[in-house]
Amino acid sequence: MNEEKRFYVHLCSKEYEVSTRISFRDLRKIQEAKEDSAIDFQKTFADLVYEKIEEESKPVVDDIYSDEKLKLCAEKFVSIDSKVEEFYKVNQERMGLYEAVLTSIYEKYDEEFKELVKGLPKINNEALAGISATLNAFRQSIVKIVTSPMMENIAKIAAQVSETLGSIAVNIGEMMQNIKIPTISEERKEELRVAYRAWGSYGWTVMPDLPLSVFLDCPVDIKEANKLALSYCTNKDMEKLFDILRDMKDVKMSDLGEAIFDFKHKQYKSCALILFGLIDAKLIRLQQKDKNPNGKWRAVGQSAANKVLDNIKREQDLEKKFFLLLDYENILACLNIVFANARDFRKQPIVINRNFIDHGMMTKKVIRKDCVQLFLLFYNLLMFIDFAS
pLDDT tens digit string along 169-203?
Answer: 555 566 666 666 666 777 777 778 888 888 988 99
DSSP characters over 294-314: TSPBP--THHHHHHHHHHHHH
- What residues form DSSP beta bridges with 9? 16
Are 2 and 112 spatial neighbours (Cβ–Cβ below 8 Å)? yes
pLDDT tens digit string along 261-280?
Answer: 999 999 999 999 999 888 87
Are 228 and 219 spatial neighbours (Cβ–Cβ below 8 Å)? yes
**6-11 and 14-19 beta bridge pairing:** antiparallel
**Taking the model in full, what pTM does it have?**
0.61
Q: What span, in angstroms and rounded, lies between the C-alpha atoms of 86 and 90?
A: 7
Of all residues in the chain, what percent are helix, strand and coil, respectively (each to 5)? 65, 5, 30
Say if residue 88's pLDDT is above 70.
yes
Q: What span, in angstroms and rounded, lies between the C-alpha atoms of 347 and 361?
A: 10
Q: Name every residue whose Cβ is closer than 8 Å to that of residue 86 and which is 6 or more positions away in sequence.
A: none
> Running DSSP on this structure, what letter comes out for residue 15?
E
Of 162, 198, 138, the residue nearest 299 (C-alpha):
162
Cβ count near 157 (within 10 Å): 17
Average pLDDT over residues 12-29: 83
Query: Which tops the pLDDT comparison, 106 or 296?
Result: 106
